[in-house]
Amino acid sequence: MHLTKPCGSNSRSSSSSNNSNKGGAIANTFHSSKSSNKMARITRTISPQRHHIHQRSLPHTLLLAVAAIALLQLHNLESVSAQSMMTKNEPMFISRSETFKFITGETIVLPCEVANTDTYVVAWKRGIAILTAGSVKVTPDPRVRLVNGFNLQIREALPTDAGDYICQIATMDPREITHTVEILVPPRIHHISTGGHLQVKKGSSVRIECSATGNPMPNVTWSRKNNILPNGEEKLHSHVLSIENVDRHKGGVYICTANNRVGQPASSQVVLHVLYSPEIAVERPVVFSGEGHEAMLVCIVHGETQPEVIWFKDTMQLDTTERHIMETRGSRHTLIIRKVHPQDFGNYSCVAENQLGKARKTLQLSGKPNVAVFNSPPISQYKDRYNISWAVDSHSPIEEYKLSFRKLPQGHEVVGNAIDSQSSSSSLSSSQSSSSSSQMYGSGLHSHHMGSNIGGVGGAGGVGMGSYAGYGNLMHWGRNDWRNVVLPAIPVSHHYSQGMSYMVRGLDPDQHYEATVQSRNRYGWSDLTNSFVFSTSSNDGPVDLSTFLNHGLSDNEMRDLSVTFYGSSAINRQKLGLLALSSATLILSLVLA
């Protein structure tokens, strides 16, 4: 009798065998993976467990699900670990993007410090041009190189070097930083419209343009060498200089300056020549001299081009002789006359001529006295009289003086010792020819004696004191009448500086008076002085000398008392002793001492 295994039993065995094979396959799959030892132990443990489950008749699909879940968790763990390792070793920049400024000629250094770039290429680019790749220089520019790693150096910077420079790491998605370079350029003047030299005629208008370059754009200013600009300013902030109505005073050197605070300012100059006809100024219209002395007549002549100067005596052209010497120093033209003769006095003229015209100025060589100068104090010590004095320079002895004085009319303002009025000279000229004026002559001052009436007469050698008839303290005249006194110079002085004093009497207390004086030598009268203003006081000062005249002092003795001497360089006053002493004379001497 044959025993046969039930089909079901064979079927379970086959199924069990198949499940065992599947478990082995899963185990082999785990063993072939790149898992850790721990995960391998987990895999080996799963197979018995699955076998145990099989023995308990659990569905084999449950075993596959558990294995799949474990495998997925292991894969996720490995992925996270790999990404963490990659993040720690990825390439990166230490430098940051910046803007740099360099002056032309300097060395440019642009930083590019990187990390973790061992397997990557670091390159420098400018636009689409590659400058370096790794440690290899690509650009043919000899000024470019890498220094201290990947820092980019450019020697002798040029304005064309300005722009953006990119340092790049060649990853799948390239990483980069950008440096911006600005080149600072010192100022440079590249154009002046006149070319540095300009000639114009007097009365013309001038426009000069000055153009400059640089980075940043420079400021342009105009100035004038050793002078201010025609508009009165020291500087003009503009690239255009305009000058209207040019004359010789506006000529000179004008300077254009450009400055942008980079390096040194740039400057360029323009020389402006003004062409004009001669212009003449005389140093002294009247030159005073004397026989045997030397005289110098000077004309200051300007002109462009340089004029030719000729000297004339009246209408006769002068040539250089032993006594006539003509000198030229710059614009100063001098006619020197040595050992002056009487016939040398007269009118001279200097004539200057160039291509644009001619000019003439007249001078006078005079032997007359200079204009006198008053030297007495402006306020009298007395209320009714004033001792007026003056000095005059003359190469020839003074022969006489003419003193004119009057009470200051109402409405005349006193400024210092002068009068702020133009009517004084004209009123003096008219009054001298009018019958209302009174004229006294020093030669007749000693013929009468009336109480305490005193006049003063003197000269360069001395001052004589005497009385004149009919006036004295009782003298009165019209409000604006001038009084003229002609005073002979006694004794005659041969000093260059000469002088005179005169006691004006019969004045009103606390009043203003004005006076003028003229001097005459053998060649004629000098010009009038400007009006001199003096004042009387409200009260008398020292003892009145006129009281002593009533006690027997003669005119001659009084004249000898007040003699005044004038030296050649200064006026020195000395009192002479009395020629005839009496008791009254002795008392007067003690009072004066």
Identify the pLDDT of residue 75: 45
pTM metric for this prediction = 0.56
Whether residues 135 and 258 share a domain: the answer is no
Whether residues 321 and 297 share a domain: the answer is yes
* Contact yes or no for 366/347 (Cβ under 8 A): no
Last residue of a domain, one of 143, 162, 185: 185
Query: 73 lies in a domain?
Result: no
Number of domains in the chain: 4
**What span, in angstroms and rounded, lies between the C-alpha atoms of 337 and 290?**
11
- Partners of residue 332 on adjacent β-strands: 300, 329
Query: 97 lies in a domain?
Result: yes
pLDDT along the chain (593 residues), means of 10: 36 36 35 37 38 42 51 48 54 95 95 92 95 94 95 96 95 93 95 88 94 95 95 94 94 95 94 95 95 95 94 94 94 96 96 95 96 95 94 93 89 58 50 45 34 32 32 46 89 83 92 94 94 89 46 36 36 34 38 40
Q: Which domain holds residue 198?
A: 193-275
Torsion of CA 552, 383, 504, 567, to 10 degrees: 90
Whether residues 376 and 519 share a domain: the answer is yes
Per-residue pLDDT reduced to its tens digit, 39-53: 333 334 334 333 333
**Residues 345-371: b if buried by 16+ CB within 10 A, e if exposed:** beebbbbbbbeeeebebebbbbbbbbb
CATH number of the domain that residue 252 is part of = 2.60.40.10
**What span, in angstroms and rounded, lies between the C-alpha atoms of 349 and 311?**
6
Whole-number Cα distances in Å, 482 to 46, 407, 515? 154, 8, 9
Query: 216 lies in a domain?
Result: yes
According to DSSP, the β-strands at 385-393 and 332-337 are unpaired
Residue type, 311: W
**What span, in angstroms and rounded, lies between the C-alpha atoms of 446 and 464?**
10
Query: 506 lies in a domain?
Result: yes
Last residue of a domain, one of 351, 366, 381: 366
Tokens of 231: 């508009």
Whether residues 358 and 387 share a domain: the answer is no
Whether residues 105 and 122 share a domain: the answer is yes
Per-residue pLDDT reduced to its tens digit, 174-226: 899 999 999 999 999 988 888 889 999 999 999 999 999 999 999 999 999 99
Whether residues 233 and 265 share a domain: the answer is yes
Query: 446 lies in a domain?
Result: no
Q: For residue 475, with 0-12 CB atoms within 10 Å meaning exposed, 13-18 middle and 19 or more buried, which class applies?
A: middle
Whether residues 406 and 489 share a domain: the answer is yes
Whether residues 504 and 389 share a domain: the answer is yes
Whether residues 175 and 108 share a domain: the answer is yes
Whether residues 378 and 256 share a domain: the answer is no
Last residue of a domain, one of 305, 340, 366: 366
